[in-house]
Structure 1
Amino acid sequence: MEGAAATTTTTVFVYGTLKRGFPNHPRLAASGSPFAGVASTAAPVSLVIGPYSVPFLLPAPTPSAGRLVSGELYSASPSALADLDLLEGTHLGVYERRRITVVIDGTSREMEAEAYFANASYAEDLWRRCGGEAAEIGEYTMEHAGRYVPPSGRSPGVSGLMDAVRAFLATAPPDS
């Protein structure tokens, strides 16, 4: 029984800096999580870019909001999943891991995966602060990643990204 538990994997849908060729992919690759395919969300969700050019996925806050978001699937072991949770700051309330239905590219096959969503405590405020529907994107691109600031380049402190999110939310949008 112990051996079976050790081989259990979780399919993870990544949509930002963890994709192949993006800044945090080496960490995912080092965890031994094999690439399992390209997919997109089965239902519209909101993907916005926050502080440090960090992508945030969140449930579409209004019926007209959201887009299908493209990403990649990986098979993560329990230890790889724990490492991803640490990277994504689930213990700090930055992201929360949720189930999501995705569609495998080139097919109509749907499957369940887990994805990192902006924590519900601030997700809708972040969506509004970023510009709402006008700011939503369907794909985090290399152009976005070119502006990405890795954790080593951010404000010091264990909750640096969460502090940046709070500060971002406390400021007025550029056109207000």
Structure 2
Amino acid sequence: MSDHVLVFVFGTLKEGFPNFQTNRGRRIPGEYRTVERFPLYLIGERMSPWMIDLAGEGEHVEGQLFSVDAETLAAMDRLERIHEADGYRRIEISVTLTTGSDGLETAAFAYVKPEGSLANADVRKGPMPRYALADAALYRPRSG
């Protein structure tokens, strides 16, 4: 399992959400949240969930934890456009179980938008602690 990494997903890559087909990882049981607070917003006409790389602001963001192989990580990187100027960045954060946690923290990758991304963003909702199915119903995939 050494070729697998942990990825914390809070938005469209969650199980049951619009881009889950890209996430071929194995879900780690339980619900997780970020140890530090991060701002999570719905942005623009596409209603995309953006977690901003601004630790200490916003909410403890809730999500799911997956163990993914290199191929799945590469697919997630492509979806999140990490090599594009306006894409997400994959960073390492700490997460913990939301219930029954003994306080143990786990390091995991997460996809975030750089702080400066908010400057001209059309914020539709947030900051908020979770991306719910009701939010996902408003999501519009990138065209093309």
| TM-score range relative to shorter protein | 0.7 to 0.9
1:145 corresponds in structure 2 to 136
Q: CA deviation at 1:126?
A: 5.3
2:75 corresponds in structure 1 to 83
1:125 corresponds in structure 2 to 119
Considering Cα pairs closer than 8 Å and 6+ residues apart, tell me whether 1 or 2 has the greater RCO.
Answer: 2
2:96 corresponds in structure 1 to 103
Unmatched 5+ residue regions in structure 1? 157-176
Q: Tell me the alpha carbon deviations over residues 97-137 of structure 1, each in whole angstroms, 9 at most, x when there is no partner.
A: 000011123202211000000135x334257x528xx8201
Q: What SS is found at the alignment partner of 2:119?
A: helix
The one-letter code matched in structure 2 to 1:58 is: I
1:36 aligns with 2:36: no
1:55 corresponds in structure 2 to 49
Aligned alpha-carbon RMSD (Å): 2.1
How does the TM-score come out when normalised to structure 1? 0.72
Instruction: Pick the structure with more strand per residue.
Output: 2
Percent of pairs with identical residues: 27
1:10 aligns with 2:5: yes
- Cα distance in 2 between the residues matched to 1:59 and 1:27: 23
- Cα distance in 2 between the residues matched to 1:46 and 1:77: 28
2:19 corresponds in structure 1 to 24
Unmatched 5+ residue regions in structure 2? none
Q: Tell me the alpha carbon deviations over residues 45-100 of structure 1, each in whole angstroms, 9 at most, x when there is no partner.
A: 11011120110111337x6x311000000001111110100000112131000000
